Amino acid sequence: DGGITQSPKYLFRKEGQNVTLSCEQNLNHDAMYWYRQDPGQGLRLIYYSQIVNDFQKGDIAEGYSVSREKKESFPLTVTSAQKNPTAFYLCASSFTQSGFWNSPLHFGNGTRLTVT
Amino acid sequence: DQQVKQNSPSLSVQEGRISILNCDYTNSMFDYFLWYKKYPAEGPTFLISISSIKDKNEDGRFTVFLNKSAKHLSLHIVPSQPGDSAVYFCAASAGMTGGSNYKLTFGKGTLLTVNP
């Protein structure tokens, strides 16, 4: 079955450590995204990538980094510079179509990161 | 500045009745709107969408209405079932006009509880 796999489901880190969240998709989607969800909040966009080797900052990119070396993979690194890293992180992907976008995002099941 | 607003954090309805979830937006560039459903500890799943050239879109028990002049959309679920109990997110994009390049802006969500 095609889908988006995020691993691990739960992740614990000590403050000051960088941590990388994995996201893999086999949907042949061009675009991939990272969102963050906090309690009582909507999803906020961290980074997105429309094509391999290219990515753009979202609304809350500070303290995060990404890479897009393969179409299928879009790992997110939460660095020690991120002031409030504890959150639920969601990866998504979609088709893109130049000049017209009507492809809903497909989401993975998320990684809950706890930093103490 | 919250561009997509879901002013009701929660809604409770009886099984078989209609559920109406509301969403308001402020950005006049938004031209594509989606509803996502989310269960705890899972990623959101796409439910239904509507483009700004329409005022209604229907899919089974789910209907989305768009009032562009009021910058308001609503999701109707008829009849409501206990399995519909979840958080519903409204999302918007300016992608169809090439504005924001596939970025989605989410509301904070509404928790729907359908009582048997």
Q: Would you place residue B18 in the very low, low, confident or very high pLDDT band (cuts 50, 70, 90)? A: very high
Q: What is the pLDDT of residue A42?
A: 85
Read out DSSP for A39-84? TT--EEEEEEEEETTEEEE-TT-TTEEE--SBTTB--EEE-TT-S-
**CA atoms A37, A43, A45, A51: torsion sign:** positive
CB B21 within 8 A of CB B40: no
Give B45→chain A minimum CA distance, Å. 7
* A50–chain B Cβ distance below 8 A for any pair: yes
Strand A31-37 and strand A87-94: the pairing is antiparallel
* B107–chain A Cβ distance below 8 A for any pair: yes
**Which residues does chain B have within 8 Å of residue A23's beta carbon, measured at their own beta carbons?**
none
**Which residues does chain A have within 8 Å of residue B48's beta carbon, measured at their own beta carbons?**
none
Q: What is the pLDDT of residue A60?
A: 94
* pLDDT at residue A1 greater than cutoff 80: no
Query: pLDDT for B19-38, tens place per residue?
Result: 999 999 999 988 889 999 99
Q: Running DSSP on this structure, what letter comes out for residue A3?
A: -
Question: Distances in Å between the alpha carbon of B7 and those of A11, A15, B12, B61, B65?
Answer: 32, 35, 14, 23, 17
**Greater confidence, A2 or A77?**
A77
**Which residues does chain A have within 8 Å of residue B89's beta carbon, measured at their own beta carbons?**
42-43
Distance from CA of residue A70 to its chain's centroid? Answer: 14
Q: Average pLDDT in the A31-49 region?
A: 91
**Which residues does chain A have within 8 Å of residue B98's beta carbon, measured at their own beta carbons?**
99
Q: What is the pLDDT of residue A69?
A: 97
A100 and B96 within 8 Å at the Cβ level: the answer is yes
A105 and B98 within 8 Å at the Cβ level: the answer is no
B108 → closest Cβ in A41, A100, A101? A41
